[in-house]
Amino acid sequence: MLSEQEKHNCLDVLRLLPTEEIFSLMNTVTNRVVSTRSRKEAIDAILQFTPSVEEFFKRRKISKDLILKYIYLQSWPVPKDRDLHDIIKFIIHKWEKQSRSSSAQRTEAGARRTEASAWRTEADAPRTESSALCVRPQRASEAAILNPIRDRGFNLTQVNNNIRHVYNTTNNYTINVQIQAPAPLAPAQSIACLQSQEQQSAEDFAKWFYSLLNSCNPEMGPRGDFGPQHFWADAQMRLELTTQGRHVSETVNGAEMLAKKLLTFPVVDRLVFKINPGADSVKIRSEGDKKVVLVCGQLRQQGMRVGTFCQSFGLVAGPAMNNSHKVKITLLKMNDKNHSILCLTQDKDAAVMEGLTVSAIQSL
C-alpha cells in the first residue's frame, strides 16, 4: 500500500491526466471492481488499489510526456538523454529526499511549537499596560517560528530617510533610489499622498505577480522564479472556476500546493493573465501591517481573449522580514465567458471577495 506521502505525490501526477483517462486508469487498476462518475473518487480508487510507487509508474497512462510535464511543474532540472526507467528513478529519489526533509521539519516544528506554547502561556497571564508591551516581541518570535520559509518575498514601496525602497523581485535584489526631500504637506495633502502611494504599491505588486506567473508560460519566457517562496507556509487559496456552464470550487492549502496549482494555468493550460488597464482594475485596502489587493482582468490564450478573472490577495508582513509581505490568503475566480469586465465595480463578486479576504486576515 502507498503511504500518505506517496499518495500525495502520485496525486500530483494524476491531476495532469484528463478525466477520461482517469476513469480508464481506474478500470485497469481496480479490474473494474469500482464504478463511479466522480473524478475525485476515481483518483482515490487508483491510489487505494496501487500497491507501490514502482507499480504506479508502470501504468501506460503514466507516459513519459506526462512524467516530464510533472518534472517541469516541479521546477526540477529535466534529465536529458535519459530513458523512462532512469527518469522514474530520478523522481522517486526526489520524493524520498522530500519525505526525509518533511519528516525532519515536522520534528523541528514540534519542538518549536512546544517552545511557542510556553511563550503563549506566559503571555496569557494577567498583565498591566507596561507588561503588555513586553508581549510584542514574543508574538513576533511566534510569527517567525510559524514561517519556516527563509526566502524574502517582495517589499511594497516604502520611503525612509529620503530613500525609496522598492520590492525585490528575487531573493537578493532591492532597488534603492535617492529622492528629493518633499516639502511638508498639509494634513489633507498627506492623506492624499499616502493613498496615492498605497495605490501605486498595489499596481506594482499586481504587475510583478502576474508578470512572474505569466513568464512560466512556455510561449512567453524567459521563465521567472515563481514559486512557494512568495507565499506563507500555511497560505490558502480558494478557487472558483466556471467553464462550459459547470462550476467547480476548490481549496488549496500550503505554499507548495498553492504555487503548483497556480502554475498549472500558464504551464498546462497556456493561459496568460492580463490586468485590465486603468486604476479601477486594481484596488488596495490596508489593515495595519496587513494589506488586501484586488485585481481584475482578462484570460488570454494564444493572443485571444478566452475569459475573465478576479483575484484578491491577503498580504501579511512578518516582523522578522523587514516589512516584506507575502501572500497569506488568495481568492481566485475564473470564468470562460468572453464578456468584458473593465473595472472592479462591474464585477458583482469583487466586493464579496474583498470582504472575505479582509475578514480572513483580520482574524489572524
209 and 90 share one domain: no
Say what the pLDDT of residue 355 is. Answer: 78
Domain-terminating residue out of 40, 63, 94: 94
Task: Give the separation between CA 16 and CA 67, rounded to whole angstroms.
Answer: 9
Helix axes 187-214, 255-267, angle to 10 degrees: 70
Task: Give the separation between CA 308 and CA 337, rounded to whole angstroms.
Answer: 7
Render pLDDT for 3-46 as a digit per residue (tens, 0 to 9): 888 999 999 899 889 888 999 999 999 888 888 888 988 998 99
* Residue 109 in this model has a pLDDT that exceeds 60: no
Q: Which three cell numbers stand for residue 214?
A: 505569466
Task: Give the separation between CA 172 and CA 168, rounded to whole angstroms.
Answer: 7
Say what the pLDDT of residue 148 is. Answer: 37
Q: Is residue 169 included in any domain, yes or no?
A: no
Render pLDDT for 208-235 as a digit per residue (tens, 0 to 9): 999 999 999 888 767 778 889 999 999 9
* Residue 172 in this model has a pLDDT that exceeds 90: no
Residues in Cβ contact with 170 at an 8 Å cutoff, skipping those fewer than 6 apart: 225
Domain-terminating residue out of 41, 72, 94: 94
Half-sphere exposure of residue 46, counting CA atoms within 13 Å on the CB side?
32
Residue of 121 and 199 predicted with greater confidence:
199
68 and 212 share one domain: no
Domain-terminating residue out of 60, 94, 128: 94
Q: Is residue 69 included in any domain, yes or no?
A: yes
Q: Is residue 263 included in any domain, yes or no?
A: yes
Q: Is residue 135 included in any domain, yes or no?
A: no
Q: Is residue 300 included in any domain, yes or no?
A: yes
340 and 217 share one domain: yes
Domain with residue 228: its CATH number is: 3.10.450.50
209 and 70 share one domain: no
For cell 526526489, the residue is 94
pTM over 0.75: no
Of 58-67, 270-279, 345-354, the one with minimum mean pLDDT is 345-354
| Of 140, 148, 165, the residue nearest 319 (C-alpha) | 140
Q: Which domain holds residue 335?
A: 204-362
Q: Is residue 136 included in any domain, yes or no?
A: no
| Of 253, 250, 276, 256, the residue nearest 332 (C-alpha) | 250
Give me the count of residues in the chain. Answer: 364
* Residue 163 in this model has a pLDDT that exceeds 60: no
User: DSSP label at 156?
Assistant: -
211 and 354 share one domain: yes
What is the number of structural domains in the chain?
2
